[in-house]
Amino acid sequence: MAWTPGISFTEDLGRHLLLGRTILEQGSVPETNLLAYTHPDFPFVNHHWLAEVILYGLHRMAGLNGLIVWKMLMLAAALGLSLVAVPGRRGSPIVWLAGILAVVILGYRAHIRPELFTYLCLPLYLGLFELIRRGARWPRWAMIPLACFWANAHIYFFFGLAAAVMFAFEQGLSNRRWLREAGWLALLGLASLLNPNGWRGFLEPAAIFTNYGMAITENASPLDYAQSVVNPMLLALPILSLLTLAAIAVNRWRAMRQGSFYGNRLANDLIALLALCAAWLMARNTPLLALTSLPVIVCALECRETHAFHPLWTGLGSLTALALTVGLSAAVVSGAYSRAFPSPIAPTAFGFDDEQRYAQLRRLATEYDLKGPVFTDYNIGSLVEYELYPQPGYCDNRPEAFPSAFWRAEYLPALGLGERWEQVVEARKINAIVVSLTGVKESFTQELMRRPQWLLIHLDDLCAVWIRNHIDNRRIIDACLFNEDRRVLYERNIQERIDRLQAMTWRQRPVETERLLYELYGLVCIGESARAWPAIQRLHALYPNYQMLQELLRVTAPPDEISRVAAVLERAARIPVSTKQSSDYAAFLEGQNRTEEARSALLRGLKFFPFSPLLRQRLEELDDRKYVTDVLVR
């Protein structure tokens, strides 16, 4: 699952590479926003500068696909270190199952980001704790430079410090040498203070959310996600959580039977419990549970009572785990794993990537003189900064790097394309607009297409680019205007690539399919649904369970194809994996004056998503309209 394309380039990676380059060239770590012209002097604590330098160096040596391979090795190493952190029965079917669940959860965050260093450092800590328990002294000293590295590589160094506190507590209970444990913790804390921002950098984890003016998808609780979607991570998380709680209970019961509350690796249980709480608080924390749960489960299986399984049950468990492994691997390679589940946090397609497709903005700037100031959306801001450098961007996906008022009073209102938008364009002297299609949706892009002062000059699966209709931009307009000829070529290119799709290798096909899908969505976003419809039909015939294709069928279908689309919507709503599937089918039925059937579709959806506010609201609206209609009829 770590072998996924460079999705991080559209999110964080471009900014990380740019800052890594800047740090090396300037010989210092910037202490302000630096990259955006809107607030370049706003204070910013870069808590992952060292990771950015490493990522930049690796990228220069090996490119994007080299970074993908490095990511695979990092995640595999993290999982392997977690499995061997403590001795035990790692061949048990229970450990195998827990490992599969951990892989699924890690796959949710399988992006090229500084947090990969946290995934490596955390199981390293657990392994070093185990060596100390066995009497080794050098791991205590080795953890001091490791703590310094972690504090400069990723903000989750504070979780490592919390883990060290729990281990010191366990050791203090065991050896009563509290002063030594306190001194060791002090050294770890001092090592973490060795960062460019000193105390401010050390305390930043506690302060980072005080200036968040944007709601971040991965900062939501898994329980919030579960109100609207089902995906592999959400399926794996409850099971692994229950296994972890059961293992902790076994470990504590065993320790109490031996008359030693702090025995049987108390710290590991406390760390896993902390990770479990963090995982259910924010979805971005779920990998912490994936990595800390395995040592706890392995430890629990050391208990003699857990060895008393009948060989038949052990064999069945092993076969079940093997079947899950094979099935999951086949689903990932075939693409089914990534196609069946909707956003948010849907799985990513399997395969390598073509870095050149992320360089189109740079080509527009160098060959056709694309000039700012640019307006960008939150999602793609980091890529725009990377590609247009040294031109600054408008914003990127660092909420803490901008005043919270910027997001609430300027950025979000501007997306409405109303009066506030006109004020921002005038005040910022906006000359170009670069937005991700999934970031701003159809309402924004289709409204821009209706405004003659903005001309579309570029469209692909990542973004759309508009330029101000002004004499100063005549060169790029003449060369790149997305006119009728360009639209015909765009559509023809999609059809030709669909023709070649089935002849591609299993490594190329999933990524190419996803690119085609988003290019078709691009046509929908600029109001060209009729051009997109034939190709969407063809792709849907190849992949009928692809959730986003079902969405595109619904919004592009001509009137004479409504019955066909209705059948697709009905099938998806039978066992929905998102509330939108139930809501969309209900909306279709209501449009056909089939009110009772629409109500049944919403009620069926509530059986799968009982806490969904969307479905409850839709049901109330439907009942209210039915009541008003009945009164009028009477």
| CATH number of domain containing 580 | 1.25.40.10
pLDDT exceeds 80 at position 1: no
Query: Are the CB atoms for 351 and 510 separated by under 8 Å?
Result: yes
Give the pLDDT band (50/70/90) at residue 204. Answer: very high
Mean pLDDT score of the chain: 91
Q: Which residue did the predictor score with more confidence, 472 or 88?
A: 472
Backbone phi and psi for residue 456, each to the nearest 5 degrees, phi listed first? -75, 125
430 found inside a domain: yes
Residue % of the chain over a pLDDT of 70: 96
72: pLDDT confidence band, cut at 50, 70 and 90? very high
- CA–CA dist 536, 552 (Å, integer): 7
Domain of residue 388 covers 359-482
CA-CA distance, 244 to 273, in Å (whole number)? 8
Side-chain half-sphere exposure of 327, counting CA atoms within 13 A: 7
**Phi/psi of residue 424, each to 5°?**
-65, -45
Coil, helix or strand at residue 391: coil
Other Cβ atoms within 10 Å of 534 Cβ, number: 13
What number is the average pLDDT over the span 39-61? 96
Summarised one tens digit per residue, pLDDT across range 184-199 is 999 999 999 999 999 9
Distance (Å, rounded) from C-alpha 215 to C-alpha 533? 34
Q: Residue 45 pLDDT more than 90?
A: yes
Mind giving me the DSSP string for 270-310? HHHHHHHHHHHH-GGGHHHHHHHHHHHHHHHTTSGGGG---
pLDDT of residue 91: 72
Q: Let me know whether 392 and 421 are in one domain.
A: yes
pLDDT for the residue 309: 54
| Pair (562, 547) in one structural domain | no
Residue pLDDT, tens place only, 111-133: 899 999 999 999 999 999 999 99
491 within a domain of the structure (yes/no): yes
Q: Are 59 and 201 part of one and the same domain?
A: yes
Task: Label residue 593 by pLDDT band (50, 70, 90).
Answer: confident
Detail the DSSP E strand segments found in 431-480: 432-436, 454-459, 463-468
* CA neighbor of 316 nearest in space, from 94, 514, 620: 94
Both 415 and 536 in one domain: the answer is no
Two structure tokens written together for 300: 């629990």
> What is d(CA 504, CA 204) in angstroms, rounded to the nearest whole number?
48
In a domain, 255, yes or no: yes
Query: Would residue 218 count as lying in a domain?
Result: no
Is 217 inside any structural domain?
Answer: no
> By three-state DSSP, how is residue 374 classified?
strand
pTM (two decimals): 0.93
Structure confidence at residue 507 (pLDDT): 81
> Which tokens is 16 given?
């990380």
| Residues 489 and 470 placed together within one structural domain of the fold | no
Type of residue found at 542: L
State the DSSP string of 473-510: GHHHHHHH---HHHHHHHHHHHHHHHHHHTTS-TTTHH
Residues 572, 460, single domain; the answer is: no
Residue 435 gets which letter from DSSP? Answer: E
Q: Which residue has the higher pLDDT, 296 or 628?
A: 296
Q: Which residue has the higher pLDDT, 11 or 583?
A: 583
User: How many whole angstroms separate alpha carbon 116 and alpha carbon 118?
Assistant: 5
* Contact assessment for residue 16 and residue 52, using Cβ atoms and an 8 Å cutoff: yes
Residue pair 469/454 in contact (Cβ under 8 Å)? The answer is yes
Hey, is 253 helix, strand or coil?
helix
Distance CA 349, CA 339 (A): 8
CA distance 634 to 632: 5
> What are 577's two structure tokens?
């994996």
| The residue to which tokens 């040592």 are assigned | 295
Is residue 345 situated within a structural domain? no
Element (H, E) at 375: strand 374-376
Q: Is 391 exposed, middle or buried (0-12, 13-18, 19+ CB in 10 A)?
A: middle
State the DSSP H helix or E strand holding residue 376, giving kind and residue range, or none if neither.
Answer: strand 374-376
Judge whether 624 lies within some domain: yes
pLDDT at 628: 47
Same domain, 321 and 199: yes
What average pLDDT does range 222-241 have in this prediction? 94
pLDDT given for residue 626 in this prediction = 60
Q: What is the mean pLDDT of residues 434-438?
A: 93
pLDDT of residue 303: 58
Residue 246, both tokens: 């059961």
- Please state the rounded mean pLDDT for residues 343-371: 90
pLDDT at 336 over 50: yes
pLDDT of residue 310: 59
Q: In what order do the strands lie in the sheet with 432-436?
A: 374-376, 432-436, 463-468, 454-459
Gap between the Cα atoms of 627 and 174, Å rounded: 70
> Which of residues 339, 367, 398 is at a domain's end?
339
Query: What per-residue confidence (pLDDT) applies to 627?
Result: 46
What pLDDT does 175 receive?
86
**Of 90, 138, 106, 505, nearest to 298 (Cα)?**
90
Beta carbons within 10 angstroms of residue 308's beta carbon: 7
Do 52 and 164 lie in one domain? The reply is yes
Give the residue with greater pLDDT, 374 vs 506.
374
- The answer to whether residue 326 is domain-embedded is yes
Q: How confident is the model at residue 490 (pLDDT cuts 50, 70, 90)?
A: very high
Q: Mean pLDDT throughout 79-96?
A: 86
Q: How confident is the model at residue 220 (pLDDT cuts 50, 70, 90)?
A: very high
The SS3 call for residue 46 is: coil
Min mean pLDDT across 48-62, 116-130, 246-260 is at 246-260
Position 334 scores a pLDDT of 85
Q: Where are the alpha helices (DSSP H) in 306-399?
A: 311-334, 336-339, 360-368, 381-388
pLDDT score, position 368: 94
Q: Are residues 413 and 453 in the same domain?
A: yes
So what's the pLDDT on residue 602?
94
Domain's final residue, options 482, 513, 528: 482
**Which tens digits make up the pLDDT trace of 309-323?**
556 766 777 788 788
| 269's tokens | 């249980």
Strand-pair category, 454-459 with 374-376: unpaired
Residue 209: Cβ within 10 Å count: 11
Torsions phi, psi for 538 (to 5 deg): -65, -45
Distance CA 145, CA 138 (A): 12
Count of domains observed in the chain: 4
Pick the closest to residue 452 from 470, 436, 431, 478 (CA basis).
470
Q: At what angle do helices 266-281 and 232-257 cross, to 10 degrees?
A: 150
26 and 153 in one domain?
yes
Nearest to 70 by CA among 3, 8, 125, 7: 3
Paired sense of beta strands 432-436 and 374-376, if any = parallel
Instruction: Check whether residue 154 and residue 88 sit in a common domain.
Output: yes
Domain final residue, candidates 278, 305, 339: 339
- What is the percent of the chain where pLDDT is above 90? 74
The partner residues of 434 in beta bridges, in order of sequence, read: 376, 465
Distance CA 1, CA 102 (A): 11
146 shares its domain with 283: yes
> Where is pLDDT greater, at 564 or 412?
412
Q: How confident is the model at residue 632 (pLDDT cuts 50, 70, 90)?
A: very low
Provide the 8-state DSSP code for 258: T
Q: What is the dihedral of CA 473, 475, 481, 486, to 10 degrees?
A: -170
